[in-house]
Amino acid sequence: MVRHGHARADARNLHLHRAAIEKIARQPELRLPCLRLVEAWLAAPEQPARTWLEQWREMLTRWPVERIAAVALDERAGQALRQCSPLGPVLSPRERWTLLEEANRALAAEATRTP
């Protein structure tokens, strides 16, 4: 199946989140900058993503990383969470660039295999 538009973006986003959560599993202290970001976003009046940000706060403060992964990496249920994700501080620009290149190569290979 060839992915276009939003489906391609979500596939790349899923790849980034998988890597970020794996890194948090290895370095739990990386939760702190993510929590700071959630709190900053929640401080904004009329925050349209409040429900998802509150869920992120709960996940980052109370959940084991395996449970975070199960919810955030679910292709359908985790999509809304990934769209307002505070995990940006986890990956360096170089890591993000490398991961996006990997995702783009995988998507291109998928497109060439599809009849």
Annotated domain spans of the chain: 5-113
Number of residues that this document lists for the chain: 115
Predicted TM-score (pTM) of this structure: 0.89
Question: Can you list the pairs that 56-62 forms with residues at least 24 positions away whose Cβ atoms lie under 8 Å?
Answer: 56/81, 56/84, 56/85, 56/86, 60/31, 60/34, 60/35, 60/86, 61/31, 61/35
Q: What is the mean pLDDT of the chain?
A: 92
Segment 55-60 mean pLDDT = 98
**pLDDT number for residue 1:** 47
